[in-house]
């Protein structure tokens, strides 16, 4: 497809008004996985994302012009095979974010740092650079563990058990935050890291440091996000509104009661929006069932269990199924907001046409529903 559209209890943080992640919209929006071939959808249906810089920049600029709050990449190092080799081509996330920081003026630009393979000193220096390029619109998505087949390319040192990975990440993020906030050199000695004379200048524009997002789907991951993150990125793949609210309320309560912090909770949604419900259902059947790349579906390849009350999902990175008319999709977004979701990262099969449709047809209805202010 060629797109031609234009460590202890943390202190309460004061973030600059220039970062839109902290605006007053009830439902913030972003794009997801536009740095990868086929975006977030493993399908052979027509219109899948062709990875070129022209395309990814055009999507970002359209998001920026419409007032989307976030541009979030997926950290990828190799593909998942199958008919599409899903995400087999990908732009490296820090250089991607730096390029989009220069091409945009409003949206927050995020990079996704894989803790096991990126040293905190490197992430600190890269993140601070992007924060300066963007005039204070950078945020870092911290991912503590990942696909063993992928990390094997980095050698055995990158492969840790789930719990050990989070112990490693605890030291990693302590170092990152000190590098972003310290005016003087410091030493650090832990179980995994030893640093002598640590310093990173210039410090970021945002003080005390850029926001941190943490993607997680386990109890220990939620605790890590509650302790360190400003935004917790979770998947909503099962249950109903009551289940979602209990999960999100518990997550926020953990952050508030144990760590004295306020936490936003974000999720990802796969969008199939059509003029009628019947057309949306037919499109889902075609995209996800008839043309779905099940062999290249990362969730299936990683053998993640399917809950008995699972929501429908689209092969790829799945996400909450926003499938229906513009009106029904806004109803679903209202339900997510009522459950406590602060922001939703969106993906489509055909970004060119479907993002334009969202901006023209769904955004005005969100404003009418009080989910967003006019931009």
Distance between CA atoms of residues 66 and 59, nearest Å? 11
The number of C-alpha atoms within 13 Å of 311 and in the hemisphere containing its C-beta is 20
Query: What pLDDT was estimated at residue 154?
Result: 80
Task: Output the pLDDT for position 15.
Answer: 42
Residues 351-357 have a mean pLDDT of 96
Return the pLDDT at 8: 32
End-to-end C-alpha distance for the chain, whole angstroms: 29
On average, the pLDDT of the chain sits at 92
* Per-residue pLDDT band at 163 (split at 50, 70, 90): confident
Give the mean model confidence (pLDDT) for residues 336-363.
97
> Tokens at residue 219, please?
């109890």
Rounded-to-integer distance, Cα 254 and Cα 74, Å: 27
pLDDT in tens, 263-305: 999 999 999 999 999 999 999 999 999 999 999 988 877 767 7
Give dist(CA 246, CA 141) in Å, integer: 24
φ and ψ at residue 124, rounded to 5 degrees: -65, -45
**If DSSP codes are grouped into helix, strand and coil, which group holds residue 323?**
strand
pLDDT at 262 over 70: yes
* pLDDT value of position 252: 96
Q: How confident is the model at residue 17 (pLDDT cuts 50, 70, 90)?
A: low
**What's the pLDDT tens digit per position in 109-162?**
999 998 888 999 999 999 999 999 999 999 999 998 767 777 778 876 666 777
Taking only the tens place, the pLDDT of each residue in 52-104 is 999 999 999 999 999 999 999 999 889 999 999 999 999 999 999 999 999 99
Residue ranges of domains in the chain, CATH in brackets = 20-368 (3.20.20.30)
């Amino acid at each position: 497809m060629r797109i031609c559209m234009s460590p202890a209890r943390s202190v309460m943080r004061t973030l600059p008004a220039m970062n839109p992640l902290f605006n007053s919209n009830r439902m913030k929006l972003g794009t997801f996985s536009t740095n990868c071939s086929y975006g977030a959808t493993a399908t052979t249906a027509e219109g899948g994302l062709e990875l070129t810089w022209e395309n990814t920049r055009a999507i970002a600029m359209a998001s920026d012009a419409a007032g989307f709050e976030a541009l979030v990449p997926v950290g990828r190092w190799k593909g998942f095979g199958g008919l599409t080799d899903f995400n087999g081509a990908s732009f490296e996330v820090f250089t991607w974010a730096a390029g989009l920081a220069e091409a945009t003026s409003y949206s927050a630009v995020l990079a996704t740092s894989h803790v096991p393979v990126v040293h905190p000193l490197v992430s600190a220096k890269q993140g601070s650079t992007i924060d300066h390029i963007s005039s204070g619109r950078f945020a870092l998505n911290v991912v503590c563990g990942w696909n063993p087949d992928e990390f094997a390319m980095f050698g055995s040192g990158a492969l840790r058990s789930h719990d050990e990975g989070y112990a490693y990440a605890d030291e990693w993020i302590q170092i990152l935050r000190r590098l972003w906030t310290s005016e003087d050199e410091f030493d650090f000695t832990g179980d995994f890291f030893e640093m002598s004379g640590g310093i990173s200048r210039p410090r970021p524009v945002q003080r005390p440091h850029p926001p941190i997002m943490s993607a997680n789907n386990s109890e220990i991951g939620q605790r890590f996000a509650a302790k360190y993150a400003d935004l917790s990125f979770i998947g909503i793949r099962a249950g109903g509104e009551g289940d979602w609210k209990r999960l999100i309320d518990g997550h926020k309560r953990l952050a508030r009661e144990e760590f004295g912090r306020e936490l936003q909770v974000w999720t990802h949604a796969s969008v199939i929006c059509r003029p009628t419900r019947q057309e949306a259902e037919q499109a889902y059947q075609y995209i996800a069932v008839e043309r779905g790349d099940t062999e290249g579906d990362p969730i299936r390849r990683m053998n993640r269990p399917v809950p008995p009350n699972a929501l429908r999902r689209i092969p790829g990175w799945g996400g909450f199924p926003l499938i229906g008319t513009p009106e029904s999709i806004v109803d679903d977004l209202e339900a997510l907001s009522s459950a406590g979701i602060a922001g939703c990262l969106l993906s489509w099969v055909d970004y060119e046409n479907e993002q334009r449709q969202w901006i023209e047809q769904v955004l005005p209805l969100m404003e009418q529903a009080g989910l967003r202010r006019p931009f």
